[in-house]
Amino acid sequence: MLKFGTDGVRGVANAELTPELALALGRAAARVLGGDRFAIGRDTRRSGPMLEAALCAGLVSEGVSVDLLGVAPTPEVAWWSVTSEAPAAVVSASHNPFPDNGIKLFAAGGRKLADDIEARLEHELQRLLGGAASVQADAPTGAGVGAVRTVSAAARSGYRAGVAGSLSGRGLAGLRAVVDCAHGAASVVAPGVLADLGVDVEVIHADPDGTNINAGCGSTHPQELARVVAERSADVGVAFDGDADRVLLVDATGELVDGDHIIAICAIDRHERGVLAGDSVVVTVMTNLGFRLAMDKRGIHVVDTQVGDRYVLEELESRRLDLGGEQSGHVIFRDLATTGDGLLTALQVLDVVVRSGRSLADLAAEAMTRLPQVLRNVRVAERDPAIVERLSGPIAAVEARLGDHGRVLVRPSGTEPLVRVMVEAPTEDEASAAADELIEAVESLGGG
């Protein structure tokens, strides 16, 4: 059975993530999350309607009525959960290739599920798939079966208005942007919102056919976007992933502006305006050292978490901070949304561009300088959670040599017999040499 990861369940549709599993998950969600109403949105994958139907059937069989949002970005589904105070689900595998699909769940109020709730869901799902308690003695019948309602795009206009409203009445007139929708859920929302704010928009990869989501486009493949931006002399390129919860940008020269730069630009802008909560940002351990040095220079505190946007959000909430995210472009503005939102993030950066009167390239260059980063995987005979402790000597030696101008991160994979070695240093050669040294140390302890 598929296990809950940091973003719900995910696997190859109709092989690992089957209609039977989706049906059981719908029933488990109804029993564990409670309430009498639920919303479901999906991205543009061919398998989406199949899994949506199965998930919906599980919910209504437990007496829960379902609002079907159809193709909708993940953050719009979270917004619906917030405004309706009801749980919700997104059928999407985000940035994964087309054959995959997934189901991510939100608790009422648009929040990702707490660990204890996920554990209860997994337990109930196992019971259902195992045949135990598959039908409750008091299963609803007749009018007790949940109703299904298809929600029109017009009825969901509040999300679009809310995202645009994050600019407090300001517009983005004068900007020319190329928008890459990854043939995904952004296709139905992003171009219109940007155009309504005054952006001169050229749209690419917004013709989903069920099989082309993320295929050579979007935030995982921004090369064509960079080429089009340069060819059209646009000011900026905007690249979404399949479910539009993350975004990467391209400046007028065709250079990629990743999540580290996006967070840096927004953190510095908020800091200078006196509205950066706690004068702090939350990022993961994979965030480039150049970001950390840039924040330190400006008096902005950096809080580290393990990899995964859910951990970023947990730190933001526990510390009452507002801005954080990942290098991948999954950025959270906790004062504006309950989850990562690619469109919201793009608007926040473009707002800085317009208010400052500066180009995105200038803002990104001033915000931070990326240090060369070398990331390598070393196969080992078997997973060893204690391997980092056993490597403490070699790691300390490399760290001492790099000092404040470099960084080392060695961590075992959580799922494979691999050790991930990451080194950042002032030059590519220094980073590669340090990584080679650490790889040799890993292999001496039993590499595969």
Same domain as 281, residue 351: yes
Percent residues over pLDDT 70 in the chain? 95
Asked if pLDDT for residue 379 goes beyond 90, the answer is no
Residues forming beta bridges with residue 99, ordered by sequence position = none
Could you say which of 116, 151, 186 is where a domain stops? Answer: 151
User: For 157-161, 201-205, 228-232, 437-441, which range has the lowest pLDDT when averaged over its residues?
Assistant: 437-441
- Output the pLDDT for position 310: 85
Same domain as 382, residue 332: no
Could you say which of 342, 367, 392 is where a domain stops? Answer: 367
Cβ contact 239:180 at 8 Å: yes
Asked if pLDDT for residue 61 goes beyond 80, the answer is yes
**Does residue 2 lie within any of the structural domains?**
no
- The C-alpha atoms of residue 344 and residue 245 are separated, in whole angstroms, by 9
Q: 336 lies in which domain range?
A: 259-367
pLDDT tens digits along 309-335: 889 999 999 999 999 999 999 999 999
- Output the pLDDT for position 446: 63
**Does residue 4 lie within any of the structural domains?**
no
Asked if pLDDT for residue 271 goes beyond 70, the answer is yes
Full-model pTM: 0.89
pLDDT tens digits along 410-423: 888 766 778 889 99
Can you tell me the mean pLDDT for 422-440? 91
- Residue 94 known to be catalytic: yes
Cβ contact 271:300 at 8 Å: yes
pLDDT tens digits along 136-187: 667 899 999 999 999 988 778 899 999 999 999 999 999 999 999 999 999 9
DSSP single-letter state for residue 108: T
Domain count within the chain: 4
Residue 60 is inside which H or E element, if any? helix 48-60
Can you tell me the mean pLDDT for 46-74? 97
Q: Take residue 382 and report the two structure tokens written for it.
A: 């078997």
Could you tell me which of 253, 268, 265, 237 has the C-alpha nearest to residue 363? 265
pLDDT band at 132 (very low <50, low <70, confident <90, very high): low
Asked if pLDDT for residue 135 goes beyond 60, the answer is no
Percent residues over pLDDT 90 in the chain? 78
Same domain as 351, residue 340: yes
Report phi then psi at 15, rounded to 5.
Answer: -120, -60
Could you say which of 206, 229, 256 is where a domain stops? Answer: 256
CA 71 to chain centre: 17
Q: Take residue 115 and report the two structure tokens written for it.
A: 């660990």
Same domain as 15, residue 111: yes
- Output the pLDDT for position 229: 97
Can you tell me the mean pLDDT for 233-260? 97
CA distances from 93 to 273, 306, 329 (A): 37, 21, 16
Please, what's the largest Cα pairwise distance for the chain? 73
**Does residue 39 lie within any of the structural domains?**
yes
pLDDT band at 21 (very low <50, low <70, confident <90, very high): very high
CA 156 to chain centre: 22
- Output the pLDDT for position 307: 83
Could you tell me which of 420, 441, 310 has the C-alpha nearest to residue 375? 420
Asked if pLDDT for residue 207 goes beyond 70, the answer is yes
Cβ contact 366:96 at 8 Å: no
The full length of the chain comes to 448
* Other beta carbons less than 10 A from residue 385's beta carbon: 9
Cβ contact 242:184 at 8 Å: yes
Same domain as 165, residue 117: no
- Output the pLDDT for position 27: 96
- The C-alpha atoms of residue 5 and residue 414 are separated, in whole angstroms, by 11
- Output the pLDDT for position 43: 97
Q: Of 61, 94, 219, 328, which residue is the catalytic one?
A: 94
Cβ contact 197:179 at 8 Å: no
Average pLDDT, the chain: 92
* Other beta carbons less than 10 A from residue 394's beta carbon: 19
- The C-alpha atoms of residue 62 and residue 57 are separated, in whole angstroms, by 9
Residue 26: give its domain's CATH number.
Answer: 3.40.120.10
- Output the pLDDT for position 277: 97
CA 225 to chain centre: 20
- The C-alpha atoms of residue 46 and residue 208 are separated, in whole angstroms, by 10
Same domain as 187, residue 62: no
DSSP single-letter state for residue 372: P
